[in-house]
């Protein structure tokens, strides 16, 4: 950590005295800390994050999106008079800096933001039950639905974020450059990905032809980006709003399939454990449609199973690219970590392919 959390917190309009702060969560991009403050004898927690500015080059624009999105949702909750505690927690609540801005910038150029810690809820890296899958997917679907009437277009915090064709081109470029000298190790993975290259443009082609259309989407619906209420088991708050921007709804559903159906961790080395659990897929599909089904066209709905395969392949491509480039993007915790992550994604693609007909049949039925 090249910053002093206590000093950073002194610049936010926090009520109470700083007690302790420590790293929190398992995200790959930002530095997340849980900070405890003493408010007149009661301990209250906040999340304080340093935004990864190598990834998010324009943090001011990102925070502008953040405020627009959370205030839109908050306004909706107010109008719906949903003032009970369960619905009040439905969106992140920023704590402004003492100068009124939505972030603090320190002398070293680090950007920080702070929000209220949502207590009595947690995220799961691996979903345990079908109810969790249903509730998490319903929360992400509801999030898209809440933003369907947002005025104007949000800033693109990472351009071409889910352009799978560009992601594949970036991989081929990393292959050509072989910057970390690791190319010889990855020939099986490359063959697997190249054999599926033609599928990378499917959604983009349909979008270009006007058959499916852009909306405001989350774009990082890893299942640990939704908080599940400890008491009720419902998906109470969608978090990690850095990539909320224009996108296809399929990107969100696809990433839920990627992260919600396998009983194995994203970086599991025993690939025999990686499998697409059909009941979890069914729960995700039902939950997502309960949240977002009202605004999707029949064609869009029919492409949901495909999105699971595509986004799993896409993230596999990104992990492999980062491995070849020398681990410059995703935080790693061991040598070979990005290659392990790539391999689990490809194993999951294989498992999805073996159950694809049944996945499509279910989507048609629903
Ligand atoms: P990253 O972009 O690094 O993934 P996230 O915004 O997803 O960062 O935060 C990392 C983790 O911190 C989450 O997975 C979640 O467990 C926890 N977290 C984030 N925001 C909150 C919050 N407001 N209340 C409780 N926990 C939170
Ligand atoms: C990153 O920030 P986090 O850990 O929720 C990444 C996602 C990937 C994911 C893979 C901004 O998500 O796109 O799907 O890792 N976020 C960004 O686990 O690149
Ligand atoms: Mg996250």
| Mean pLDDT in residue range 239-255 | 98
Question: Which CATH fold would you assign to the domain 5-119?
Answer: Phosphorylase Kinase; domain 1 (3.30.200)
Please state which architecture CATH assigns to domain 130-365. Alpha-Beta Complex (3.90)
Instruction: Delimit the domains of the chain by residue range.
Output: 5-119, 130-365
Indicate whether residue 313 lines ligand 1 (CB < 6 A). no
CA angle (214 as vertex; 213, 217 as ends), nearest 5: 135
The atom of ligand 1 lying closest to the CA of 123 is: 16
pLDDT tier at 86, thresholds 50, 70, 90: low
Residue 224 CA, ligand 3 centroid: distance in Å? 6
- The separation between CA 68 and the C-alpha centre of its own chain, rounded to angstroms, equals 18
The atom of ligand 2 lying closest to the CA of 29 is: 2
Q: How far apart, in Å, do the first and last CA atoms of the chain sit?
A: 48
Over residues 347-356, the pLDDT tens digits come to 999 999 999 9
Instruction: Supply the pTM of this predicted model.
Output: 0.95
Over residues 156-207, the pLDDT tens digits come to 999 999 999 999 999 999 999 999 999 999 999 999 999 999 999 999 999 9
Alpha helices in 181-262 (DSSP H): 187-194, 202-208, 249-260
Query: What are the contacts of 269-276 at 24+ separation with CB within 8 A?
Result: 269/340, 269/343, 271/343, 271/344, 271/347, 274/344, 274/347, 274/348, 274/351, 275/348, 275/351, 276/308, 276/348, 276/351, 276/352, 276/355
* pLDDT score of 332 more than 70: yes
Position 79 scores a pLDDT of: 82
Which of 70, 33, 66, 32 minimizes the C-alpha distance to 52?
A: 32
* pLDDT score of 90 more than 90: no
Indicate whether residue 330 lines ligand 1 (CB < 6 A). no
* pLDDT score of 84 more than 80: no
Q: Closest Cα to atom 11, ligand 1: which residue? A: 25
The atom of ligand 2 lying closest to the CA of 30 is: 2
Indicate whether residue 222 lines ligand 2 (CB < 6 A). yes
């Amino acid at each position: 950590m090249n910053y002093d959390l206590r000093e950073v917190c002194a610049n936010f309009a926090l009520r109470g005295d700083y007690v302790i702060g420590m790293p929190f969560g398992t995200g790959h991009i930002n530095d997340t800390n849980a900070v405890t403050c003493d408010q007149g004898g009661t301990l209250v927690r906040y999340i304080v994050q340093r935004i990864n500015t190598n990834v998010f080059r324009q943090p001011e624009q990102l925070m502008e999106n953040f405020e627009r999105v959370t205030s839109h949702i908050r306004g909706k909750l107010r109008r719906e008079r949903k003032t009970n505690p369960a619905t009040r927690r439905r969106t992140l609540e920023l704590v402004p800096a003492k100068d009124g801005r939505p972030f603090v910038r320190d002398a070293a150029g680090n950007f920080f933001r702070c929000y209220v810690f949502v207590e009595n809820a947690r995220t799961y890296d691996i979903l345990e039950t079908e109810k969790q899958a249903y509730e998490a997917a319903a929360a992400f679907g509801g999030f898209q639905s809440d933003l369907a009437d947002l005025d104007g277009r949000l800033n693109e915090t990472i351009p071409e974020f889910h352009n799978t064709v560009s992601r594949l081109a970036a991989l081929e470029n990393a292959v050509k450059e072989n910057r970390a000298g690791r190319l010889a190790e990855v020939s099986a993975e490359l063959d697997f990905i190249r054999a599926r290259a033609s599928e990378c443009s499917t959604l983009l082609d349909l979008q270009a032809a006007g058959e499916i259309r852009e909306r405001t989407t989350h774009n990082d619906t890893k299942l640990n980006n939704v908080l599940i209420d400890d008491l009720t088991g419902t998906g109470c708050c969608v978090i990690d709003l850095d990539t909320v921007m224009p996108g296809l709804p399929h990107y969100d559903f696809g990433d839920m399939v990627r992260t919600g159906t396998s009983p194995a961790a994203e970086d599991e080395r025993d690939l025999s454990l990686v499998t697409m659990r059909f009941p979890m897929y069914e729960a995700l599909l039902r939950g997502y449609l309960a949240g977002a089904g009202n605004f999707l066209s029949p064609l869009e709905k029919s492409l949901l199973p495909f999105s699971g395969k595509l986004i799993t392949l896409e993230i596999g491509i990104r992990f492999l690219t980062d491995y070849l480039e020398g681990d410059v993007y995703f935080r790693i915790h061991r040598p070979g970590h990005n290659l392990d992550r790539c391999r689990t994604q490809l194993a999951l693609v294989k498992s999805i392919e073996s159950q694809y007909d049944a996945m499509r049949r279910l989507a048609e039925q629903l």
